[in-house]
Structure 1
Amino acid sequence: MNCISITYKKAPLEIRNRIAFDQSEIESFYTQIDGQCVLLLTCNRLEIYFEIPMEAMEEQLCQFKGLNRDDMMPYFATYTKAGAIRHLARVACGMDSMVLGEDEIYRQVKEAYEQARTLKKTSYTFNTIFQMVMKTVKQIKTQTGLSSTSVSVGTLAAHAVFDFGAKTVLIIGISGKIGSITAKNILAKPHIHLIGTTRQHHSDLFATYPQVQMEPYQQRYTLVQQADVIISATASPHYTITKTELTKWIDEKPRLFIDLAVPNDMDPHLQELPHCSYLNIDHFQQLAKTNNKKKQGYAQRAEVVIDQRVSDILKELRMHDVIADLPQMKEKGIESFVYSLRKTDSYEQMDAIVSWLEKWVNNA
């Protein structure tokens, strides 16, 4: 198996846009390729796994997209044989992603393989490789914390909401980048009532999540009364919540205030109020750094698993070749095989085979 990879690591967005495929192009491309082929497309990468010679695929890909091969070569990363299998495993596990250990790529790899299989662009070799890689991903998810350890500030803030046991959450500045990311993470868990304030009248977020209760920014203190957790993530030059004003509105219900803005959105003195807890962006950035160090450790474990599984895949493919030759082996007999060991390339090669045979005979 060979692989051509065009990703965010070497190719800027302009190049990735030029090489991107739409759905109709994918099927058309498959019809033009001889042999097995799997085309993986995500927002940050295009990868082709194939069995024809590398140069032939480079030429066909560029010709199909109307691009000059020489111009595109600096953006290609190429892998062959065991290297291609190992790269596929790392990609599917999220080891090659912008966010280390992200889960979405596994689904994308699986769907790419299933589409190629449906279009009859895979046979024994690719089916074995992709199916064993899928099992490798599941093994890594089970045995390491690579995918379960969050490093995104928005995700970490959402986990703080969950840990607090919040039933109602208010996000001030929900239509901003951090606010919308945090909202999406919170909405992933059912039974949380989410309220958002924004000075804007439109946001794509709320077309996707109509269950979000939108209110004017000016009503934020009234809304604080309803909320268990209050998150602020605006670009306001002034505090969105101050200690002095807040004392006029809140009762003794425990509340968590989360400030995700730089500079601070909330008055840090909020934490001096009874029943109020306060976390700011520094807390989550430090937590992200700690988690990232953990992820690096988990990634090292994952690399060990990947190396072992790549070896297993190569053995499985090689055994398939041996089984195909069994009838001829039976005809020649074991004696002929043993005497032929004198023709091996080196003593080390012969010794390895003989040692394995001795171990096999003694354990038979």
Structure 2
Amino acid sequence: MTSNAERYLPPMLADFLAFTLAGDPPAVAQARGELANGVCYTWLELGVLQLEPAAAGEAPTEASASVASVLLSAGVHGDETAPIELLSRLVADIAQGTLRLACRVLVVLGNPAAMRAAQRYVDDDLNRLFCGRHAQLAGGREKARAERLEALTAQFFAQAATLGAAARWHVDMHTAIRSSVFEQFALLPHTAAGPSRAMFDWLAFAHIAAVLLHTAKGTTYTQFTAETFGALACTLELGKVRPFGDNDLSRFTAADNAARALVAGALPPRDGAAMPRVFTVVDQITKHSDAFELLAMGADVPNFTPFAKGTMLARDGTYRYVVERDEERIVFPNPAVKPGLRAALLVIETTSETLAALGA
């Protein structure tokens, strides 16, 4: 009798990362199929793979109507490698049958060209081009990729509506350029519905230490899925940028387990896991010109570093940013962005009021 480990797998399922980096489409006969465990797979585009449990492909029933739709993405920034490696392993384990699949899953490795170049992006920051913002660009590789990812994502969630799926999730996994006071943290896009208790429970299960709440709509991938499709969406920041192969993936076991539990439909209760601390965006620093400077911090200042009232954090010609509150923490300081883009976020802690509103 052949074991799961001995079953032949198409190369794109055995090592989805290596297959994507190679850049070639699968042979026609291997672009879609059904595995021995009943999982159906479809290669949609370079770096984009759809997986479905057996129930999702059958005629709609009461059981299939409860199948969730989960989008798992990584590599939207090409040099953020740890979560790309985690997703590739997750695909292989689903294909081998060692990880049960109980929902529809769309796996997206966002920016293969930047992944191959070991760069954040090639022409433009892909995670600033969703919600239609790509239409403002004349050209570029990320513009075309954003357009295509929006279309494939819309197709995926439209099929979820046809199946009557009970839940839509999007977990977009990144790593930070800098170290952080909280090594693993999450960002939630701004929506009219506000934060979700289900999302906070999942983040606690994933041992995420802090959550950043946006207070204005952005143009990120998670903003697109949350606003357009009502998905429970979060951006996870897992450690720092490192080359492929240099990551200690054991540091992200809790987040990996949470993603696996989500696709297996086996989310347990929090079991006493601490809720994350919560921070809310109160301002941002925008780079207006090449004269822009970030002050009072070096390249090694971690995310969530606090600054006291009166501290000047940035200047750009006549523009100054001075801390106005007793304490503001800086997140994602990056003076190397293009003029017109965000160079940093400023946040304050709002843990008590946010968790109280969730009923926690």
Q: Specify if TM > 0.5.
A: no
Relative contact order, CA 8 A, sep 6+: which one is greater?
Answer: 2
Higher Cα radius of gyration: 1
- The TM-score normalised by the length of structure 2 is 0.22
Give 1 or 2: higher helix fraction: 1
Give 1 or 2: higher strand fraction: 2
